[in-house]
C-alpha cells in the first residue's frame, strides 16, 4: 500500500519536496490545514525561514496539532529550517521563537553564516545506501548545525572538512529525521527514500 506524505506548505521548498517524495514512490500532498494533516502518514518540514514558518503555523492554527501529532508518533523529516523546527532546543533564535520538538537535540540557527556563506560538500550519510562510495551532495544555505544530541539520537552525518569539520548535520531519533542541508534541490532522492521507508515501516 502506498503511503501518503504531507509537505508543510506555508513557506519554503514545498514544490521540490513534493517532487522528491513522489520520485521516492510515495503519494505527496501539500498540508496547510489540520484536516490535511490528519490525512497523512508522515510530514516533511521544508527549508525556508524558521521564524516565519513558526509564525505561519500559529496563524494557520497548525502549530499545536502538528506538535501533538509528532509527539504522538507521526514520522517527520525536516530539512534546514525544518531541522530547527524539530529541535527541542535552539540557540541563536529570536526571543519568542518556538519549536515543534520531536528530536532531543540543540541546534544553532544560521550556524554556517549568512546567505553569502552558503556552500556545497559531499557527505557520507549513515542509513543512506551506497553513500560511502557515492556520497550525498549536500547544499547548505544559511543552515543550522546540531550542537548536541540526547542519548536516543543517532548522528547520521558530520561535515568532513573545512572550518566546520566535525559538525553534526544529519540526525535521526526513532521516526524523526532531520538534515541541515537541502537534498530536495539536488536530484538525489536517497534521503527522501529513507524517509518514505521510515513512514512505511511505521505504518
Q: What is the pLDDT along the chain (203 residues), one digit of tens a residue?
A: 689 999 999 998 899 999 999 999 999 999 999 999 999 999 999 988 888 898 999 999 999 999 999 999 999 999 999 999 999 998 876 777 789 999 999 999 877 765 545 788 899 999 998 998 999 999 988 888 999 999 999 999 999 887 778 899 999 999 999 999 999 999 899 999 999 999 999 88
Tell me phi and psi for residue 65, to 5 degrees: -60, -40
Whole-Å CA distances, 153 to 102, 105, 158, 162: 10, 8, 14, 25
Query: Of the residues 80, 120, 147, 148, which is catalytic?
Result: 80
Is 182 marked active-site?
A: yes
Domain 4-202 belongs to what topology? Rossmann fold (3.40.50)
Catalytic site residue 120? no
Options 16, 17, 173, 182, the catalytic residue = 182
Global pTM reads 0.93
Among 16, 17, 173, 184, the active-site one is 184
Active site annotation includes 80 = yes
Residue extents of the structural domains in the chain: 4-202
Amino acid at each position: 500500500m502506498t503511503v501518503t506524505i504531507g509537505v508543510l506548505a506555508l513557506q519554503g521548498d514545498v514544490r521540490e519536496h513534493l517532487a522528491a517524495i513522489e520520485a521516492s514512490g510515495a503519494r505527496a500532498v501539500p498540508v496547510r490545514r489540520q484536516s490535511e494533516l490528519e490525512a497523512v502518514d508522515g510530514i516533511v518540514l521544508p527549508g525556508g525561514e524558521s521564524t516565519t514558518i513558526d509564525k505561519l503555523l500559529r496563524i494557520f492554527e497548525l502549530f499545536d496539532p502538528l506538535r501533538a501529532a509528532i509527539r504522538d508518533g507521526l514520522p517527520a523529516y525536516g530539512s534546514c529550517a525544518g531541522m530547527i523546527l524539530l529541535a527541542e532546543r535552539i540557540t541563536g533564535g529570536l526571543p519568542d521563537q518556538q519549536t515543534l520538538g520531536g528530536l532531543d537535540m540543540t541546534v544553532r540557527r544560521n550556524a554556517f553564516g549568512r546567505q553569502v556563506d552558503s556552500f556545497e560538500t559531499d557527505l557520507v550519510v549513515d542509513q543512506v545506501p551506497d553513500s560511502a562510495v557515492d556520497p550525498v551532495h549536500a547544499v547548505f544555505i544559511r543552515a543550522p548545525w546540531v550542537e548536541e544530541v540526547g542519548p536516543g539520537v543517532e548522528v547520521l552525518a558530520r561535515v568532513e572538512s573545512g572550518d566546520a569539520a566535525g559538525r553534526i548535520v544529519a540526525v535521526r531519533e526513532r521516526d524523526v529525521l532531520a538534515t541541515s542541508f537541502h537534498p530536495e534541490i539536488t536530484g538525489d532522492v536517497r534521503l527522501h527514500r529513507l524517509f518514505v521507508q521510515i513512514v512505511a515501516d511505521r505504518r
